[in-house]
Amino acid sequence: MSVYDSWKSQSLCNDLPNYQNVGKAKHRRNPIIDHWADTHITMVKVELYKEDVQVVWMTFNAQNTDNLNWFSKKNFYQSSFTDLSPCSKTNYFSAIGQTINARRFFINKNYGGCANDNGWFCIKERKDTCKWSQFNKYPVFMYTKNERNWTKDAVTADTLVISIAVGF
């Protein structure tokens, strides 16, 4: 099941009252996402975990956004990626990502032929032409550790958590 489609539609997954109830290999989602405009969401935090240890985090300013456009360079605030900022050069920085290759919630620096593709964060939803994105099971939560090269530096996480902060 597509993480992106699950994020967009409550009908594709189960309610999530809190993080402790997650469980592996399941899409969980709080229905508050469907009422984004009425909820006064101020910040969003994206986290990746590997064996229950946080390996990546990013925060976004969510004021005056919807449930998809908050994930953008314009709204990016802080992260564990020390070389990623609102001024960083990117060719993709969006939830929809690169649709032809099913690279969602995609933050990419540049393409240079598969072996020379560079970026920070990607949810892979199916196989594509590049070896760096070929796995046996999808979705795959990917990030790069240091050099930002998808072929040489990409690793995977097992859990994605997207949290919101509400203000009035």
149: alpha, beta or left, given left = phi > 0 and alpha = psi -120 to 50? beta
* Domain-located, residue 100: yes
Check residue 80 and give its pLDDT: 98
Helices (H) and strands (E) in the chain, counts: 3, 11
* Domain-located, residue 52: yes
pLDDT digits (tens, 9 = 90+) for 27-65: 677 778 888 888 889 999 999 999 999 999 999 999 999
Q: List the domain range (segments joined by +) for residue 8.
A: 3-19+33-166
Check residue 139 and give its pLDDT: 94
Residues whose CB falls within 8 Å of the CB of residue 123, separated by 6 or more in sequence, listed in order: 3, 4, 97, 103, 104, 105, 106, 139, 140, 141, 142, 160
* Domain-located, residue 135: yes
Check residue 25 and give its pLDDT: 53
Residues whose CB falls within 8 Å of the CB of residue 82, separated by 6 or more in sequence, listed in order: none
* Domain-located, residue 111: yes
* Domain-located, residue 79: yes
* Domain-located, residue 7: yes
* Domain-located, residue 66: yes
Q: How many structural domains compose the chain?
A: 1
Check residue 17 and give its pLDDT: 47
Under-70 pLDDT residues of the chain = 1, 10-27, 168
* Domain-located, residue 159: yes
Check residue 27 and give its pLDDT: 62
